[in-house]
A and B are shown apart, each in its own frame.
Chain A
Amino acid sequence: MNSQQPTDHTPITPGMPPWVERNGFSDWAVAVLWIVLAFVLFQIVAGFVSVALIMIVGGTDPGVDFGDRLLQRMDLLFIGNSAGQILFLGFATYKVAGLHVWKDRVKTFLRFRTFPDTGRITGLTAVLFIVVQPVIWYLGYLNSQLPVPDYFSELQQSQYEMIESFLRSDGALLMAMVNIAFVPAICEEVMFRGYVLSAFEKNWGIWPAIIVSGLMFGLFHLQLTNLLPLASLGFLLALVTWISGSLVPAIVAHFVNNGSAVLLSTYFPDMAVTELTAETAPPVWTLIASILLTAWLIRQLFVSSESESEQR
Chain B
Amino acid sequence: MEQTTSANGRNTASPDPGYWTSVLIVSGIFSIAGFAINIIFGYVQIASEPGGTVFSPMMLGSVVVCLATCLGGLAAVWHVTRYITPRMKLGRGALIGFLTGAMIVLFSTLLNELWVIFDPGYTERLLDSVVENVEAMDLPADTQDQMIDQMAAGVRDTSVFQQLVVGIPVTGLLNLLTGMLGVRFFAVKEEDYTE
Given contacts A17-B5, A29-B94, contact A24 B89 (CB under 8 A): yes
Complex CA–CA separation, A73 to B9 (angstroms): 55
Cβ proximity bits B135-176 to A, threshold 8 Å, 1 near / 0 not: 000000000000000000000000000000000010001001
How many residues on A have C-beta within 8 angstroms of the other chain's C-beta atoms?
Answer: 12
- B189 to A: closest C-beta gap in Å: 12
Closest to A20 in B: B91
Interfacial residues of chain A within 16-41, with CB under 8 A of chain B in the complex? 16-17, 20-26, 29, 33, 36
B125 within 8 A of A: no
B94's closest neighbor in chain A, by CB?
Answer: A25
How many interface contacts (CB-CB < 8 Å) are there between A and B? 29
Question: Closest approach, in angstroms, between the C-beta of B191 and any C-beta of chain A?
Answer: 13
Q: How large is the interface on B (under 10, 10 to 19, 20 to 34, 35 or more residues)?
A: 10 to 19
CB of A24 within 8 A of CB of B90, answer yes
Contacts of B176 in A (CB 8 A): 33
Report the separation of the CA atoms of residues A33 and B176 in the bound assembly, to the nearest whole angstrom.
10
Q: A16-B7, A17-B5 are in contact. Are A25 and B173 (CB under 8 A)?
A: no
Give min CB distance, B158 to chain A, whole Å: 11
Q: Are B89 and A36 touching (Cβ within 8 A)?
A: no
CA of A29 to CA of B98 in the docked complex: distance in angstroms? 11
Q: Does B21 contact A (CB under 8 A)?
A: no
A24 near B173: Cβ-Cβ < 8 Å: no
Residues of B within 8 A of A21 (CB): 5
Quote the shortest CB–CB distance from B32 to chain A (angstroms). Answer: 29
| Contact among B92, B95, B173 for A36, CB-based, below 8 A | B173
Question: Residue of B at shortest CB range from A16?
Answer: B7
Cα of A29 to Cα of B94 in the assembled complex, Å: 10
Please give me the residue from chain A that is nearest to B183 by CB atom. Answer: A23
Q: Is B48 an interface residue (CB 8 A)?
A: no
A24 touching B7, Cβ below 8 Å: no
CB distance from A22 to the nearest CB of B (A): 6
**Is B4 positioned at the interface, with any CB of A under 8 Å from its CB?**
yes
**5 residue pairs bridging A and B, Cβ less than 8 Å apart:** A17-B5, A22-B89, A24-B89, A24-B90, A29-B91
6 smallest CB-CB distances across A and B, nearest first, come from: A24-B89, A24-B91, A25-B91, A23-B90, A23-B91, A23-B89
